[in-house]
């Protein structure tokens, strides 16, 4: 096979792998912000999810149970954020900052208890499987390590992430529930007048955002790598948040932005493997520069949900 095609396959494959945790978390961001609640705590939720996923997968030897528990763990912190923001009119960014300390702190706290004082879990016996693996290899439909293998033979979480982009898009734009979520995010007073339960919608959306961020964390800890460590998440939640805004608060837009961030990572790893470290740092910087430039390009177009960050209090009117 042409080496250049092989290289391209490697880059695309790594891009997909590194985009996946971001896609999950970013979708969580879309859901909560569309309901009008800022969630800067995605980082902490993702962090906790990464730990919970790896810990449960390690002890149960079942990566799927790990993935589920990661999502539930994230959803728990989503609930706390919802209680603070929806029921007690908390300053949403401040509450999110608190969640970041709490999510990371509690993950490391429990990790030290369960893993003999270490801030990382042990390696899980079984990672999230690669469902199409049976198609590739000696005498199979496709050769191993070829372009198709590198690109399409990915972890189940990768396919799940793409599928969920579609699901979130469908729910937000094609169902009554989605319409309600968007209405609450645009004009909660009007939504309330129309009989929509603003509190319930926002609780649901914020909890779901934690659920998705938890999935994102596990997609990192039990698919991309095979254990949780204290440096594993380090800012991915914030990148996902930025990707969501880059993608104009739309699931499909967030997907594109996450792929961009993933591609930068993929290229960085590729160039690193070819021994070009100088370009690596500059290249890694590019998506962030690009995000700022693109955001500047949004001038005059308000794309954020109108009621974002605003406290809704039924008693006010």
Partner 1 sequence: MTGTKLKELFLKGPFGLTLISILLGFLVGAIVLLIAGFNPAEAYWAILRGIFAKPKYVSYVIIYSTPLIITGLSVAFALRTGLFNIGAEGQFIVGAMAAAIAGYFIQLPMLLHVPLCLFLAMSAGAVWGGLAGHIKARFGVHEVISTIMLNWIALYLSNWSLTLQSFGKQGTGKSHMIQETARIDLFGQWKITEAGIEFIRSHKVLGDILKSPVNLGIIFALLFAFLMWYILNKTTLGYELRAVGFNPDAAEYGGINVKKSIITSMSIAGSLAGAAGALQVMGVGHKIAKLAIMEGYGFDGIAVALIGNNTGPGSVFAGFLFGGLKYGGAKIQDAVGAPTEVINIVVGTIILFVAMPKLIQMLLKFRKG
Chain positions contacting partner 1, by CB under 8 A: 40, 80, 84, 88-91, 93-95, 97-102, 104-106, 108-109, 111-113, 117, 119, 231, 234-235, 238-239, 241-242, 245, 277-278, 281-282, 284-285, 288-289, 291-292, 295-296, 298-300
Extract the tokens encoding 199. Answer: 């509190």
Work out how close the CB of 230 gets to partner 1 at its nearest, in angstroms, rounded to a whole number. 9
Work out how close the CB of 280 gets to partner 1 at its nearest, in angstroms, rounded to a whole number. 8
Q: Which of left, alpha, beta for 145 (phi over 0: left; psi -120 to 50: alpha)? A: left
CA 100 to chain centroid:
15
Q: Which is nearer to partner 1, 89 or 273 (CB)?
A: 89
Q: Which is nearer to partner 1, 76 or 155 (CB)?
A: 76
Q: Which is nearer to partner 1, 180 or 202 (CB)?
A: 202
Q: Which is nearer to partner 1, 68 or 244 (CB)?
A: 244
How many angstroms separate the Cα of 143 from the Cα of each of 20, 136, 150, 260, 298?
Answer: 25, 6, 10, 28, 45
Q: Supply φ then ψ for residue 132, to 5 degrees.
A: -95, 10
Show Cβ contacts of residue 50 under 8 Å, excluding neighbours closer than 6 positions.
70, 107, 217, 218, 220, 221, 228, 232, 233
Work out how close the CB of 68 gets to partner 1 at its nearest, in angstroms, rounded to a whole number. 23
Q: Which is nearer to partner 1, 108 or 255 (CB)?
A: 108
Work out how close the CB of 83 gets to partner 1 at its nearest, in angstroms, rounded to a whole number. 9
Work out how close the CB of 17 gets to partner 1 at its nearest, in angstroms, rounded to a whole number. 19
Extract the tokens encoding 311. Answer: 């406290």
CA 228 – CA 236 distance, rounded (Å): 14
Work out how close the CB of 38 gets to partner 1 at its nearest, in angstroms, rounded to a whole number. 8
Name the residue among 208, 258, 237, 261 with its Cα closest to residue 107.
237
Maximum CA extent, the chain: 71
Q: Which is nearer to partner 1, 105 or 129 (CB)?
A: 105
């Amino acid at each position: 096979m042409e080496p250049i095609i092989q290289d391209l396959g490697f880059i695309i494959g790594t891009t997909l792998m590194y985009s996946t945790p971001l896609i999950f978390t970013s979708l969580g961001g879309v859901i909560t912000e569309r309901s009008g609640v800022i969630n800067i705590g995605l980082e902490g939720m993702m962090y906790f999810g990464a730990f919970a996923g790896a810990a449960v997968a390690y002890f149960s030897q079942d990566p799927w149970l790990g993935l589920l528990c990661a999502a539930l763990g994230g959803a728990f912190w989503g609930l706390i954020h919802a209680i603070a923001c929806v029921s007690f009119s908390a300053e949403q960014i401040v509450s999110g900052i608190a969640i970041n300390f709490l999510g990371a702190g509690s993950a490391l706290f429990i990790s030290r208890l369960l893993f003999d004082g270490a801030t990382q879990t042990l390696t899980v016996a079984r990672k999230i499987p690669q469902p199409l693996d049976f198609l590739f290899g000696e005498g199979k439909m496709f050769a191993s390590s070829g372009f198709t293998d590198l690109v399409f033979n990915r972890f189940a979480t990768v396919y799940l992430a793409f599928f969920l982009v579609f699901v979130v898009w469908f729910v937000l734009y094609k169902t009554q529930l989605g319409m309600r979520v968007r209405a609450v995010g645009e004009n909660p007073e009007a939504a309330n007048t129309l009989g929509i339960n603003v509190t319930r919608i926002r609780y649901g959306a914020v909890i779901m955002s934690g659920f998705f961020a938890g999935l994102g964390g596990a997609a990192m800890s039990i698919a991309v790598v095979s254990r949780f460590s204290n440096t594993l998440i380090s800012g991915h939640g914030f990148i996902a948040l930025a990707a969501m805004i880059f993608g104009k608060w739309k699931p499909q837009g967030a997907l594109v932005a996450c792929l961009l961030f993933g591609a930068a990572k993929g290229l960085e790893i590729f160039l690193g493997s070819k021994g070009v470290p100088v370009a690596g740092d500059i290249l890694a910087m590019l998506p962030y520069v690009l995000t700022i430039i693109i955001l500047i390009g949004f001038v005059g177009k308000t794309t954020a949900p109108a009621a974002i960050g605003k406290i809704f209090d039924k008693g006010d009117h």
